[in-house]
A and B are shown apart, each in its own frame.
Chain A
Amino acid sequence: MADDNTSGRVPTVIADDVHIVYRVNGAGGGKGSATAALSRILRRGKGESRGVRKVHAVRGVSFTAYRGEAIGLIGTNGSGKSTLLRAIAGLLPTEHGKVYTDGQPSLLGVNAALMSDLTGERNVVLGGLAMGMSREEIRERYQGIVDFSGINEKGDFITLPMRTYSSGMAARLRFSIAAAKNHDVLMIDEALATGDRKFQIRSEKRIRELRKEAGTVFLVSHSNKSIRDTCDRVLWLEKGELLMDGPTDEVLKAYERETGK
């Protein structure tokens, strides 16, 4: 990408004082009744507009990620990990601050693009197109995706609508579609170990492959084991703030002490 510097480390993601604020409609205090909504509208003013509540999810996070790094994100529920990932991917606009990236980072997952009323077959194509693959690429990888998901091991399920799948089967197909594409900067948002034991092993292997191909990997997880296995650097977020940033062992030790594990 660019000329090497002295230490030979090339940054791929730079987050510069990133703030992210969600605005929630209809959560502004009081009862959720029509009269309450009306009085909220009438009682406007004081800067904060009618019935909109702000949630400051990420507060001034800065870090630089380099090529070849695998970075874990840890923190308790609601600490802003997934939100930060989305901001890095450019999917959530920042309120303040900037994220600079090399190329287009992508989140691993296509759930939102799939439609349960369509057959698995069509969902593979739709999901692939949604991730930006070309029709040829999808045709090439189609069989691989279906085989990997193992959907057809118990009969011809791929030609049935996805709503007829068991939750495990659907999760397997979703993962298979999502994992079919290679990424420069790859972001994985926990809960990947879906499906039965056999599939878990297969998907862990695939993630390792993806990691090797990707320049930089971000992993959000509540499993300290999988963070230890994968990451060489860890960011610890708490209440939207970056509490600690350093080598996996150091940060995890501090985190475990804090959370009493």
Chain B
Amino acid sequence: MSDTTHDGAVALSTPPSADDGLSAAEMATKYGLTVSGARPGLFEYVRQLWGRRHFIMAFSRAKLTAQYSQAKLGQLWQVATPLLNALVYYLIFGLILGTRKGMTQEVFIPFLVTGVFVFTFTQSSVMAGVRAISGNLGLVRALHFPRASLPISFSLQQLQQLLFSMIVLAVVAVAFGSYPGPSWLLIIPALVMQFLFNTGLAMIMARLGSKTPDLAQLMPFVMRTWMYASGVMFSIPVMLKDKPDWIANVLQYNPAAIYMDLIRFALIDGYGSENLPSHVWAVALAWAVLVGVVGFVYFWKAEERYGRG
């Protein structure tokens, strides 16, 4: 070690220069060098991220395509997977358990399918978020890009997956007597808000998962609990009407339930506003902005530390 003090080492074979007396930090300042891998400011970070938008899009689309590229049916699975999913839930909850209390068959089937698809959107964003950094360490250790590109990319992939599911959903809705109308347009703001919420959540999970990869094992249980508590396959107010009010309120105002209800309301004719909690749009927006912003800042705070083994 003694032969490697920085001044001595570099001056070994070169004539002494005016820089010899300077410490590393002073020399860096003198020549305008910056700390490698330092975390940029929040606005600079957003700018860098915007500069990488093409990469984020390309990466999410590539992931989506790669998913089914070995299957014989290929991209058909994009639609077939959600369809089969809906069938399984219909079989269990619609036919065997009969959780459709308080709803007609015409409402319940689209109600259930919407719930499954919309919740899956959040669920898979969270699951992808947990592994966004820890599962892509190779990429993080090889190339430079704002690390938030990864969780954002994965949520975008899930959004595109959801759009395929929406095709199935539209077919199901029409089959059970809910025809396209102007209220269907409300799906767009609802999905935009849910996407924001999911991305924020994915970024929080990405940071946690980069420190504690064990979360990938734990999250499926958390997500399943969340799913059953959010009224994916039953109406919360109807199911909990003999329980204290606050339980139903807590469940109904949880973001997953809020976004599901909004899309059901937009899509299904027999599912009117009486099923929605009050101030539902404001709550949906609040969740989206809160989790989106907090998630982004929380993720950015550890930007320079991702990639550590």
Question: Residue on A with the closest CB to B144?
Answer: A104
B184 at interface (Cβ–Cβ under 8 A)?
no
Q: Is the CB of B25 within 8 A of A98?
A: yes
Total A-B contacts with CB atoms under 8 angstroms apart = 182
Q: Is the CB of A25 within 8 A of B213?
A: yes
Within 8 A of B (CB), among A128-176: 129-132, 134-135, 161
User: Contacts A100-B36, A132-B52 known; A113 to B17 CB distance under 8 Å?
Assistant: no
B270 at interface (Cβ–Cβ under 8 A)?
no
The one of B9, B70, B213 in contact with A117, judged by C-beta atoms closer than 8 angstroms, is B70
Q: Is the CB of A62 within 8 A of B308?
A: no
Please report the C-alpha to C-alpha distance between residue A13 and residue B36 in the assembled complex, in whole angstroms.
9
Q: How many residues of chain B get a CB closer than 8 Å to chain A's CBs?
A: 54
Residue from the set A130, A246, A247 with the largest chain B CB neighbour count within 10 Å = A130
Shortest CB distance B55–A (Å): 4
Q: Is the CB of A131 within 8 A of B34?
A: no
Q: Is the CB of A125 within 8 A of B139?
A: no
Please report the C-alpha to C-alpha distance between residue A101 and residue B31 in the assembled complex, in whole angstroms.
10
Q: How many residues of chain A get a CB closer than 8 Å to chain B's CBs?
A: 67
A222 at interface (Cβ–Cβ under 8 A)?
no
Q: Is the CB of A134 within 8 A of B69?
A: no
Within 8 A of B (CB), among A86-121: 86-93, 98-102, 104-107, 109-113, 115, 117-118
Q: Is the CB of B139 within 8 A of A113?
A: yes
A213 at interface (Cβ–Cβ under 8 A)?
no
B10 / chain A contacts, CB cutoff of 8 Å: 63-64, 245
Known interface pairs A5-B17, A92-B308, A102-B32; 10 further A-B residue pairs with C-beta atoms within 8 A, sorted by A's residue number: A63-B10, A89-B37, A91-B37, A91-B140, A93-B308, A100-B27, A107-B142, A112-B141, A113-B142, A130-B55
Interface of B with A (CB < 8 Å)?
1, 3-6, 9-10, 12-15, 17-19, 23-25, 27-28, 30-38, 52, 54-55, 58-59, 62-63, 65-66, 69-70, 136, 138-145, 213, 304-305, 307-309
Interface of A with B (CB < 8 Å)?
1-2, 5-7, 9-17, 22-25, 59-64, 86-93, 98-102, 104-107, 109-113, 115, 117-118, 122, 125-126, 129-132, 134-135, 161, 233, 241-242, 244-247, 250
Between A and B, 25 residue pairs with Cβ closer than 8 Å are A5-B17, A5-B18, A7-B18, A9-B14, A14-B27, A14-B28, A17-B24, A22-B308, A63-B9, A89-B36, A89-B37, A90-B38, A100-B34, A101-B36, A102-B34, A110-B142, A111-B138, A112-B139, A112-B142, A113-B143, A115-B62, A117-B70, A122-B62, A130-B59, A244-B3
The 8 closest A-B pairs by CB, nearest first: A90-B37, A16-B24, A100-B28, A90-B36, A62-B6, A112-B138, A117-B66, A100-B33
